[in-house]
Amino acid sequence: SATAPEPITLAGVRLSFGAVKAIDGLDLALRPGSVHGLIGPNGSGKTTTLNVISGYYRPQDGAVRLGSRSLLAEAREARARLRIARTFQTPRIVGEASVIENVMLGGSVEGRASLAESLLSLPRHRADERHLRESARLALRAVGLDGLDDVRAGRLQHSELRFLEIARALMLRPAFLLLDEPAAGLSAQEIQRLGGLIRAVADAGIGVLLVEHHADLIFAICDEVTVLNLGRVLAAGTPAEIRSHREVVSAYLGA
């Protein structure tokens, strides 16, 4: 069934941009109910990996699967329908729309060709719209933005937009949630709240990919960590294993 807890697996994935090998033979597994941290220096292939899983980039070689099903032929809208949701480094928010309208669009926007198509697809029946609004309200509460429903999204602070993006992604009822640097620009206190939210998401059975620079957040909440360098896996393991990996420590953690 659509809710079967199957992993997403990448095997031997390669993607070059001209002469740049952004991903150079990558193996990775995202497990339901688990937080997988992806770290590494700038340009090591983290965002490219997220784009390959969400269908924004197509690799030149290798396999990307959900369970036994290949995802490579599936466009990004189809992957959204398979309940693979993502956020962006720069929140993609409709500033003129209210907070709750932005979240309501999340139930459809990733699965549609365009924002216009999404707006047209918003429910015409009052019962459907009520249901969507109620789901959006729950998503906003889950990320700690309740009480802001009718505020214009353009008036939110940067940190609030990051949480709004997650609320919108949750509207897909994702099986997998791919987060691209969600802690960027957040205060220490907000990062702690974000960590609690991500853990709760995983504990609800969702598989999370966390691309992140904040090592403290990665080590605090991840079940597994993969360290990339030049598009290859430098190290993979539990946070404890990665923390004690000599090469990783000297190269990236500044210890």
Q: Which residues form the interface with ligand ADP (CB under 6 A)?
A: 17, 20, 22, 40, 42-48
**Given the complex with ligand ADP, which of 17 and 113 has the nearer CB atom?**
17
Least distance in angstroms from the C-beta of 211 to ligand ADP: 7
**Given the complex with ligand ADP, which of 42 and 114 has the nearer CB atom?**
42
Least distance in angstroms from the C-beta of 168 to ligand ADP: 22
**Given the complex with ligand ADP, which of 42 and 68 has the nearer CB atom?**
42
What would the 3-class secondary structure string for the chain be? CCCCCCCEEEEEEEEEECCEEEEEEEEEEECCCCEEEEECCCCCCHHHHHHHHHCCCCCCEEEEEECCEECCCCCHHHHHHCCEEECCCCCCCCCCCEHHHHHHHHHHHCCCCCHHHHHHHCCCCHHHHHHHHHHHHHHHHHCCCCCCCCCEHHHCCHHHHHHHHHHHHHCCCCCEEEEECCCCCCCHHHHHHHHHHHHHHHHCCCEEEEECCCHHHHHHHCCEEEEEECCEEEEEECHHHHHCCHHHHHHHCCC
Tokens, residue 219: 């080590």
**Given the complex with ligand ADP, which of 57 and 136 has the nearer CB atom?**
57
Least distance in angstroms from the C-beta of 194 to ligand ADP: 19
Least distance in angstroms from the C-beta of 187 to ligand ADP: 23
**Given the complex with ligand ADP, which of 44 and 159 has the nearer CB atom?**
44
Least distance in angstroms from the C-beta of 64 to ligand ADP: 15
**Given the complex with ligand ADP, which of 21 and 199 has the nearer CB atom?**
21
* Residue 226, beta-bridge partner list: 38, 236
Least distance in angstroms from the C-beta of 13 to ligand ADP: 12
